[in-house]
Structure 1
Amino acid sequence: MQVEVVLDAAARIGESPVWVAEERVLYWIDVKAPALYRLDPASKAQQSWRLPGDIGAYSLTTDRDVVIVALRDGVYRLTLSSGAVALLAHAPFDPVMHRFNEGAADARGRFWVGTMFDPPEDAYAKPQPAGLFRYTTKGGLQPTGNVAELHNGMAWNLDETLFYLAHSYAGVVHAYPFDAASGSLGRRQVFAAIEKPAGIPDGAAIDCEGGYWCALHGGGGLRRFRADGVLEREVRLPVSQPTMCAFGGEALDILYITSASKGLDASQRAREPHAGAILAIHPGVTGLPREHRFTL
């Protein structure tokens, strides 16, 4: 499958691509820049919003000028027109050792955000799990009881009765019965397991057939699992650390893929000149025409 380099961003940890159809743009982040970006793939024009701390996740909102951003020490409101950030909720963990990682809004406008163990590079600490949270304007930041050293792979199935969530270091993607009205999760089942040599399950996207596309961080590819969890195909990429994918383009027939360069040594960078780039493929299946936004 032909892979296009959309933008040689050289991101340290490019993440969380989100296509906005009415603007024909792709939002994405570099966790360690840290910054939020708005890219026009056609013209390559890009805007950026620098942030005061590592950004692990974000959600566009019902106010087109406002984005909810999960930074290392809390959840903030980012006003795009001014660049101002305002604290909404403190992180319920030690932000020196953990940070928020990956988030998504559901159909009712709730913001789901996970965490990861991410201490300073010179710290020799034993990995500790932390929680998955649900944030609303009225209820604030609430724990869900789900803990992991690294949350990833958030997505909902076609009728939004299942919530997918990867525990990346365990190499497992779980499927949870999802109650859209209450936002509660049922008892999890293993949806897919990723063997360690293949990489760890990172960000994901759902296609119009219910297929679950999973980035294999450290494994240099994507895997598509059918709705029943059966592996259907694997796509190889020219980067070893793809991080997440999202459908976009006017027909939702393009799969955009973010990637990371962090952790690669000089020889690896020489072999991967596009590490940290935004890539694109035409997978032969389209995405879903639904755009979930956080409700302010």
Structure 2
Amino acid sequence: METYQAEHLFRVLNALGEGPLWHPVEKRLYWTDILTGTLYRTNTDLTILEKTFLDIQVGAFAFRKNGGMILASDHGFMEWSFEDHQITYLWNPLIGQMGVRLNDGKVDPAGRFWAGSMDAEHQKAKLFRFDPDGSHHTMLTGIGISNGIGWSPDHKRMYYTDSYQYTIYEFDYDLDSGDITNQKPFVVLPKDEREIVPDGLCVDAEGYIWSAKWNGWGITRYNPQGEAVAHVEVPAQRVTSCCFGGENLDLLIITTSRADLSEDALSNQPYAGDVFVCKVPVQGQETNLFG
């Protein structure tokens, strides 16, 4: 198995850094610290950092074709812009659900925004799809912790993580309708004392899946058959998500968390909660835009 080493990129000490996304037009990196309600973005060469604070917990976001962003949060789906900071509420599927928020999400190849909720206690979370025409759909139910999602380059398969089940699932995906069928386990991690859980993911241009490992100190690359073929070592225990960025889309950008780590644990991983980068010999797919 090939092994790569991630390098330190930004000192941010995120409680729960998540959702890194490369803007295909602006050529900038964005990500969120969910627990502090902070959104970050960089300049094009990844040397300058800008951040803004929101009164909501943003679990995922997407870029709109006509500018601005669409957010998935503890208040549902909404529009927002870094420039004017105006929020427009679109749809809240979480009304009446205490302690539940939207978590990971992405835009599919047809411009529809998928985001799921998390409800590990009752396993009543769901995966939602919000379409550009304003219609919304419940795609899956009975989820514990909705997490990483992505699509194959041929637009025929969708990958989706339920962290509570320690499982990445594979579906047949219909580009025209957005329907998903034929759900089956793609990767199942062992439930043992290490508690290594699949978190966020991205799919590269060759159709291989890069899955972040919460408590696993890294990212694992899987071939389309679900076999581990490479690993990126990260000097932080709780690796949360990853995306491809940079001019050639060959930089794997990685977010991490320092949430609930003891003082002893933090003393052994001073970069926990920071952002990392790893140059890899493969390109990612371009980020899909909503709309």
Mapping for residues 249-264 of structure 1, pairs under 5 Å: 249-264=246-261
Pairs within 5 Å for 1:281-292: 281-288=278-285, 290-292=286-288
Match of 1:235 in 2: 232
Partner of 1:15: 18
State the partner residue of 1:122. none
SS for the counterpart of 1:269 is helix
For the residue of structure 2 that corresponds to 1:267, the secondary structure is: helix
Deviations 1:130-163 (A, max 9, x none): 1100112434332113331111120101201101
Partner of 1:182: 177
Task: State whether residues 5 and 279 of structure 1, in contact with CA within 8 Å, keep that contact through their aligned partners in structure 2.
Answer: yes
Counterpart in the other structure of 1:109: 111
Could you tell me which of 131, 135, 142 is aligned with 1:136?
131
- Which residue of structure 1 aligns with residue 268 of structure 2? 271
The RMSD of aligned alpha carbons is 1.7
1:63–1:47 distance in 2 versus 1, CA, 3 Å: farther
- Which residue pairs with 1:280 in the alignment? 277
2:49 corresponds to = 46
Q: Aligned-pair distance for 1:75?
A: 1.0
SS in 2 for 1:27: strand
Give the Cα separation in 2 of the matches to 1:84 and 1:139: 19
Counterpart of 2:91? 89
Aligned residue for 1:100?
102
Distance 1:174 1:93 in 2: 27
**8 Å Cα contact 2:94-2:101 kept in structure 1:** no
- Runs of 4 or more above 4 Å deviation: none
- Structure 2 residue 153 is the aligned partner of structure 1 residue 158: yes
Q: Decide which of 36, 39, 42 is 2:39's aligned counterpart.
A: 36
Contact 2:111 2:132 in 1 (8 A): no
Which letter maps to 2:39?
L
* Unaligned 5+ runs, structure 2: none
- 1:294 maps to 290
2:213 paired with 1:216: yes
Aligned to 1:32, the other structure's residue is in SS state: helix
Identify if the C-alpha distance between structure 1 residues 257 and 169 changes in structure 2 by more than 3 Å, giving closer, same or farther.
Answer: same
Offset, 1:95: 4.5
Q: Which runs of 5+ in 1 are unaligned?
A: 119-125
SS at match of 1:228: coil
Pairs aligned (count): 286
Q: Distance in 2 between matches of 1:15 and 1:262?
A: 12
1:62 aligns with 2:57: no
Shift of 1:241: 0.5
- Are the aligned partners of 1:72 and 1:95 in contact in 2 as well (CA < 8 Å)? no
1:121 maps to what in 2? none
- C-alpha displacement at 1:103, in angstroms? 0.8
Determine helix, strand or coil for the equivalent of 2:264.
Answer: helix
The farther-off stretch of 136-145 and 255-264 is 136-145
1:225 and 2:228 correspond: no
- Counterpart of 1:96 in 2: which secondary structure? coil
Q: CA deviation at 1:92?
A: 3.3
Deviation at 1:228, TM superposition (A): 1.4
TM-score (norm 2): 0.93
> CA shift at 1:41, angstroms?
6.4
Letter in 1 for 2:37: P
CA distance in 1, matches of 2:156, 2:33: 31
| Matched position secondary structure for 1:287 | coil
Residue 146 of structure 1 is matched in structure 2 by: 141
